[in-house]
């Protein structure tokens, strides 16, 4: 089946970069000796939580929406998302002058709902445990004649997220610090596989690893099994941004070629990583955005010890009360 | 008197940049439409809180310490600081292989004391309201034969901090967004005047404004009076990093030439700015580091409305419990 899928390439990532110009921000690469000591490795941490809309999702959204032809603009776009893709799509739609309707779970962090509304997006709330967001979104898109913008399993979304990898590989090279390994969170896998496309060309020796909540380790298990495996339904984690049921078809086809394996972290380890990002990097990371850092600090495999390891902190959209409780150590 | 002082120039800032290479990080320029709306201006915000050691102070420290001759290294350096200069000097000393003794107020934030110790610095605590840190430091330096590293009123410290201005002016130009104005906090005035030296050459049309806690508005009053005026003794503010008694001699001589005037913000406005930096930029700013943002968001003078305004967020070293209380809105 894999060979029938049309998969993005390095050139598609480069083309995405041109479509993002003037909107997407180059996010910095940070580090701290205390974090290196905790990990037992040299960590270079790309703070993608400082991206426009507070996560990498604007990259894919710009790449997809910029390709909607003029005659499709009036009907606009529909997307479903727990919040970061929502904000990326809403911002891209506003910048490109089209309406956006976002289907979000009723328990999405308020800060994410507010972000969509601030960009003029319409919000449709659904029950995460009852209704199917795919069905709702497909129906709403059909009613409006709008373009449905998937959050990960899409050629242009994967290529668009990949520009984070172009940047990271170039930044590491400019620092004279080629990465031995790179750890990136994986929900649906759009970001990590786009990033891996960039590294495959620019830094082919770098091994790429997924990071997931240990309760949602579908990527780790799927990569090991060589087939797509799902998470048990109903499992929970604080990492709201990356709780997808299973790897996508496109993303898994890429991942089988590009990824070395999967790491895991507990919610408690994620909270610790958020505190360390606050303290040593002075960046605000959300739970799902810090799972790769958590895996690096607490679960780095033996083979990565002593190496130079890139880590992506991918989002920083977290409600103030929740963040305060985490930083104060009461959550 | 001014004409007898040896003041740094643009070329000294360039020379400082070479001495910082491989240590100092280029910090990103961030923005958010919500902040522009609050300010009534287009804000470009340089997140210097993401600098190595969590503040700009490493810039000046590297520039000064790198010029200590080999025979002076064994005796090392002494500095006094409420915490950010302390950490900058401790890190620079470690990187350059010399001992550092830092005289800090007993009420300095623990995170700042910890930062010095983590870099191998010795800490000498004094009572901010009783003893003279200048006298203690001079005595300790004399006893050791160590170099006393002032925190602002020093040729090399000013030139070193100025590299933040080189970066900011170049970043704005690369974005095609020349700044009409720039707001920077002023304690002793080392940073703002170094930055102003860079802008005087690279972006001479940019007007530079100090920002201070309204209880410590010595720069605003001194610039207006044309002479150095001190703060009333014993006044308090949460902005621990910038509570210096009065402008320095070198910094004021530069400031009279380079600065357009002074802005003020209340502690409450500073807390608000910290919350906005958390929410819209996902960066951790400490109180003193956010006073320029506070002035921009809440006290922007009429003449700056509708303009493009650069803002420096200069430090992010804040104790977790204090930060949590501020973000949760209970402080």
For the stretch A41-78, pLDDT in tens is 999 999 999 999 999 999 999 999 999 999 999 999 99
Cα-only R_g, chain A: 18
| pLDDT reported for residue B1 | 47
Q: Rounded to 10 degrees, what is the CA torsion of A293, A187, A201, A21?
A: -90
Q: Is A21 on the interface with B (CB under 8 A)?
A: no
* B275 contacts on A by Cβ (under 8 Å): 320
Find the range with the poorest average confidence among A104-108, B46-50, B75-79, B218-222: A104-108
State the nearest Cα–Cα gap between A28 and chain B, in angstroms: 6
- Chain B contacts in chain A segment 84-123 (CB below 8 A): 111, 118
Instruction: Give pLDDT tens digits for B180-206.
Output: 999 999 999 999 999 999 999 999 999
Nearest residue to B13 via CA among B189, B193, B179: B193
- Under the banding of pLDDT at 50, 70 and 90, the label for residue B4 is confident
* B317 contacts on A by Cβ (under 8 Å): 282
HSE value, Cβ hemisphere, 13 Å, CA-based, for B234: 0
Contact B328 A316 (CB under 8 A): no
| pLDDT reported for residue A263 | 98
| pLDDT reported for residue A269 | 98
Contact A118 B33 (CB under 8 A): yes
| pLDDT reported for residue B233 | 86
Q: Are A226 and A259 in contact (CB under 8 A)?
A: no
B220-259 in b/e form (b: 16+ CB < 10 A) is: bbbbeeeebbebeeeeebbbbbbbbebbbebbbbbbeebb
Q: Are B206 and B178 in contact (CB under 8 A)?
A: yes
Average pLDDT over residues A126-131: 84
Cα-only R_g, chain B: 18
Q: What's the whole-model pTM score?
A: 0.95
Instruction: Give pLDDT tens digits for B243-259.
Output: 889 999 999 999 999 99
Tokens of B250: 């070198």
Contact A275 B30 (CB under 8 A): no
Instruction: Give pLDDT tens digits for A229-278.
Output: 999 988 889 998 888 899 999 999 999 999 999 999 999 999 999 999 99
Average pLDDT over residues B166-177: 97
CA angle B291, B297, B300 (to 5 degrees): 90
Q: Are B229 and B177 in contact (CB under 8 A)?
A: no
Contact A50 B54 (CB under 8 A): no
Q: Which residue of B has its CA nearest to A112?
A: B279
- Under the banding of pLDDT at 50, 70 and 90, the label for residue B323 is very high
- As a whole number of angstroms, the distance between CA A252 and CA A167 comes to 23
Give the containing element (helix H, strand E) for B241.
none
Q: Is A323 on the interface with B (CB under 8 A)?
A: yes
Which burial class, exposed, middle or buried, applies to B18 when counting CB atoms under 10 A from its CB (0-12, 13-18, 19+)? exposed
Contact A282 B328 (CB under 8 A): no
- As a whole number of angstroms, the distance between CA A126 and CA B116 comes to 50
* A282 contacts on B by Cβ (under 8 Å): 49-50, 54, 283-285, 316-317
| pLDDT reported for residue A1 | 47
Q: Which residue of B has its CA nearest to A321?
A: B328
- As a whole number of angstroms, the distance between CA A169 and CA A46 comes to 10
| pLDDT reported for residue B3 | 57
Average pLDDT over residues B151-178: 97
Q: Rounded to 10 degrees, what is the CA torsion of A33, A38, A40, A45?
A: -60
- As a whole number of angstroms, the distance between CA B318 and CA A318 comes to 19
Higher pLDDT, residue B1 or A195:
A195
Measured in whole angstroms, the distance separating CA A31 from the mean position of its chain's CA atoms is 20
Model confidence at A94: pLDDT above 80: yes
Model confidence at B216: pLDDT above 80: yes
Reported ipTM: the value is: 0.94
Q: Considering CB atoms only, which of A50, A111, A325 is closest to B30?
A: A50
- Chain A contacts in chain B segment 41-60 (CB below 8 A): 47, 49-50, 54
Model confidence at B235: pLDDT above 90: no
Average pLDDT over residues B31-60: 98
Q: Which residue of B has its CA nearest to A176?
A: B22
| pLDDT reported for residue A3 | 57
* B285 contacts on A by Cβ (under 8 Å): 282
For residue A240, the tally of other CB atoms under 10 A from its CB is 23
In eight-state DSSP terms, residue B143 is H
Percent of chain A with pLDDT strictly greater than 70: 99
Measured in whole angstroms, the distance separating CA A191 from the mean position of its chain's CA atoms is 5
Mean residue pLDDT of chain A comes to 95
Contacts A–B by Cβ distance under 8 A: 77
Show the 3-state SS of chain A.
CHHHCCCCCHHHHHHHHHHHCCCCCCCCEECCHHHHHHHCCEEEEEEHHHCHHHECHHHHHHHHHCCCCHHHCCCCEEEECCCHHHHHHHHHHHHHCCCEEEEEECCCCHHHHHHHHHCCCEEEEECCCCCCHHHHHHHHHHHHCCEECCCCCCHHHHHHHCHHHHHHHHHHHHCCCCCCEEEEECCCCHHHHHHHHHHHHHCCCCEEEEEEEHHHCHHHHHHHHCCCCCCCCCCCCCCHHHCCCCCCHHHHHHHHHHCCEEEEECHHHHHHHHHHHHHHHCECCCCHHHHHHHHHHHCCCHHHCCCEEEEEECECCCCHHHHHHHHHCCC
- As a whole number of angstroms, the distance between CA A253 and CA B49 comes to 41
Q: Is A324 on the interface with B (CB under 8 A)?
A: yes
| pLDDT reported for residue A233 | 86
Find the range with the poorest average confidence among A200-209, B233-242, B253-262: B233-242
Coil vs helix vs strand at B209: strand
Find the range with the poorest average confidence among A44-48, A244-248, B48-52, B272-276: A244-248
| pLDDT reported for residue A323 | 97
């Amino acid at each position: 089946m894999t060979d029938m899928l049309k998969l993005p390439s390095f050139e598609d990532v480069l083309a995405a970069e041109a479509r993002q110009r003037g909107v997407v921000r180059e996010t910095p690469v940070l580090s701290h000796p205390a974090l290196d000591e905790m990990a037992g490795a040299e960590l270079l941490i790309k703070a993608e939580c400082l991206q426009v809309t507070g996560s990498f999702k604007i990259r894919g959204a710009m790449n997809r929406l910029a390709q909607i032809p003029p005659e499709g603009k009036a009907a606009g776009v529909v997307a479903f998302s727990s919040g970061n893709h929502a904000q990326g799509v809403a911002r891209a739609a506003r910048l490109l002058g089209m309406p956006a309707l976002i289907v979000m779970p009723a328990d999405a962090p308020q800060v994410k709902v507010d972000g969509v509304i601030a960009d003029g997006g319409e919000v449709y709330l659904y029950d995460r445990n009852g209704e199917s967001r795919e069905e709702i979104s497909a129906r709403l898109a059909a009613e409006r004649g709008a373009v449905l913008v998937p959050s990960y399993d899409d050629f242009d979304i994967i290529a668009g997220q990949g520009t984070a990898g172009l940047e990271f590989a170039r930044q590491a090279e400019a620092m004279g610090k080629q990465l031995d390994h790179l750890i990136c969170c994986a929900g649906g896998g759009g970001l990590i596989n786009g990033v891996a496309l960039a590294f495959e060309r620019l830094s082919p020796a770098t091994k790429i690893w997924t990071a997931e909540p240990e309760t949602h380790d579908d990527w780790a298990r799927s990569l090991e099994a060589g087939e797509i495996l799902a998470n048990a339904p109903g499992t929970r984690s604080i990492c709201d941004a990356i709780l997808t049921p299973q790897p996508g078809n496109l993303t898994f086809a890429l991942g089988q070629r590009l990824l070395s394996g999967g790491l895991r972290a507990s919610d408690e380890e994620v909270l610790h990583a958020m505190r360390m990002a606050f303290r040593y990097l002075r960046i605000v990371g959300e739970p799902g955005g810090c799972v790769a850092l958590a895996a690096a600090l607490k679960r780095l495999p033996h083979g990565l010890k002593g190496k130079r390891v890139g880590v992506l902190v991918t989002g920083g959209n977290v409600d103030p009360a929740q963040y305060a409780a985490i930083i104060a150590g009461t959550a």
